[in-house]
């Protein structure tokens, strides 16, 4: 039996969903930002060109570019004066002098001229001193494919897990709401509907340890009280009918006697003074009997209305 309140459960579920949704939004925003800033990073270029760059720096140390360098991408080696030392790019001829301002890390103009190519540059360092610059023309699909698909899958795993947890929490919230709130309310509605029709036999079965459970408990107590009051009312009405029947009989008997003796006097059945006095005595006795019966009825009514005054002698 779970003693945690409904409000506590709803707060925990709601807070968990809010936290997870916030996490998904922040993490998704971070992924989108990283995706949008992926293009200008240098990590991919370094991974693709690290080995050839090392060979070029060794060639610079030896001052020997006669041996062709093995590379998958066209390249051009330029010293700090702008002279092309070695090149496999048509645009940069060997021993020509070029503008060093063209050697930005990413050249937007080159991207416009050749959208499928990324112009990537790196400094050539020897003994912690820059001695030149190397330019690589890397196909864009090759450049961007450095981020493996597996890493992308790993990136979306937290979002996937968070979304699954959110879905599970939403399902649990629905089940909890249906079981602990909607179902009891439907039962309460059915019980109230039957009570309005006078049927007090419908009992509510529910766990009484939650707020709605306590309400169901109080509702059941009210239903039992109404049932008892209804049964008591029916019993009282039944007894009142029996009482009225008895009173009718008790009142009718002396009235019938009074009526008979009055007619006897009126019709002259008795003419002597003694007979008339006897009849009158009987009539007075019956009147006293009726008066006492009416007084008893009045006291009973006062007792029912709680207006009867009782004084101790």
Band of pLDDT at residue 23, cut at 50, 70 and 90: confident
CA–CA dist 89, 199 (Å, integer): 96
How many domains does the structure of the chain reveal?
Answer: 3
Task: Look at residue 130 and give its three-state secondary structure.
Answer: strand
CATH code of the domain covering residue 97? 3.30.450
Instruction: Give a yes or no: residue 193 inside a domain.
Output: no
* Torsions phi, psi for 307 (to 5 deg): -115, 15
What's the pLDDT tens digit per position in 121-133? Answer: 888 888 888 888 8
Q: What is the mean pLDDT of the chain?
A: 77
Q: What is the mean pLDDT of residues 59-82?
A: 82
Mean pLDDT of 209-224: 80
- Residues 224, 171: one domain? no
Stretch 10-30: mean pLDDT = 80
Helix (H, G, I), strand (E, B) or coil at 245: helix
The pLDDT value recorded for residue 259 is 83
Please report the pLDDT score of residue 105 as a whole number: 44
Range with the poorest average pLDDT among 6-10, 149-153, 170-174, 299-303: 149-153
Give the helix ranges, DSSP H, for the chain.
Answer: 6-36, 43-62, 108-113, 140-144, 149-177, 183-196, 211-266, 273-304
List the Cα angle 154/158/163 in 5-degree steps: 130
CA 106 to chain centre: 50
Q: Which of 8-22, 61-75, 142-156 has the lowest mean pLDDT?
A: 142-156
pLDDT in tens, 277-289: 888 888 888 888 8
For residues 96 and 155, membership in a common domain is answered with no
User: Which positions ≥6 away from 122 have C-beta within 8 Å?
Assistant: 42, 45, 46, 49, 53, 133, 134, 136
Indicate whether 251 belongs to any domain.
yes
Higher pLDDT, residue 113 or 269: 269
Percentage of residues of the chain with pLDDT beyond 70: 81
Same domain, 29 and 66: no
User: Domain limits at 160?
Assistant: 6-37+149-184
- Judged by average pLDDT, the poorest of 4-8, 46-50, 166-170, 279-283 is 4-8
Determine if the pTM surpasses 0.85: no
The answer to whether residues 239 and 94 belong to one domain is no
Examine the domain organization and report whether 75 and 103 are in the same domain.
Answer: yes
Residue 1 belongs to some domain of the structure: no
Task: Report yes or no on 73 lying in a domain.
Answer: yes
Find where tokens 């807070």 sit: 15
Residues 122/134, Cβ–Cβ less than 8 Å? yes
pLDDT of the residue at 110:
62
Q: Reply yes or no on whether the pLDDT at 102 is more than 70.
A: no
Residue 194, domain member (yes or no): no
Is the pLDDT reported for residue 266 higher than 50? yes
Q: State whether 235 and 282 are in the same domain.
A: yes
Indicate whether 190 belongs to any domain. Answer: no
Q: Which pLDDT score, from 0 to 100, does residue 220 have?
A: 84
The verdict on 32 and 154 lying in the same domain is yes
Does the residue 66 lie in any domain? yes
């Amino acid at each position: 039996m779970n003693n945690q309140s409904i409000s506590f459960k709803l707060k925990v579920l709601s807070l968990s969903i809010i936290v997870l949704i916030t996490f998904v939004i922040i993490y998704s925003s971070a992924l989108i930002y990283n995706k949008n800033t992926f293009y200008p990073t240098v990590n991919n270029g370094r991974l693709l060109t690290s080995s050839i760059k090392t060979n070029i720096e060794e060639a610079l140390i030896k001052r020997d570019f006669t041996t062709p360098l093995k590379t998958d991408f066209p390249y051009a080696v330029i010293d700090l004066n702008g002279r092309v030392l070695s090149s496999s790019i048509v645009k940069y001829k060997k021993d020509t002098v070029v503008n060093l301002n063209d050697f930005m890390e990413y050249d937007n103009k080159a991207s416009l001229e050749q959208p499928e190519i990324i112009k990537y540059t790196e400094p050539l360092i020897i003994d912690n001193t820059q001695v030149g610059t190397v330019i690589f023309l890397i196909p864009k699909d090759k450049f961007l494919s450095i981020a493996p698909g597996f890493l992308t899958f790993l990136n979306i795993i937290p979002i996937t897990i968070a979304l699954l947890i959110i879905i599970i929490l939403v399902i649990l919230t629905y089940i909890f709401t249906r079981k602990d709130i909607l179902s009891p309310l439907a039962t309460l509605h059915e019980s109230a509907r039957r009570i309005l029709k006078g049927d007090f036999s419908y009992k509510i079965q529910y766990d009484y340890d939650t707020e709605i459970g306590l309400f169901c408990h109080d509702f059941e107590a009210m239903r039992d009280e109404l049932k008892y009051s209804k049964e008591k009312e029916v019993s009282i009405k039944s007894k009142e009918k029996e009482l009225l029947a008895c009173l009718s009989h008790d009142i009718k008997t002396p009235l019938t006697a009074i009526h008979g003796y009055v007619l006897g006097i009126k019709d002259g059945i008795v003419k002597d003074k003694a007979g008339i006095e006897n009849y009158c005595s009987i009539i007075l006795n019956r009147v006293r009997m009726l008066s006492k019966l009416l007084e008893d009825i009045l006291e009973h009514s006062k007792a029912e209305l709680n207006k009867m005054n009782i004084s101790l002698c």
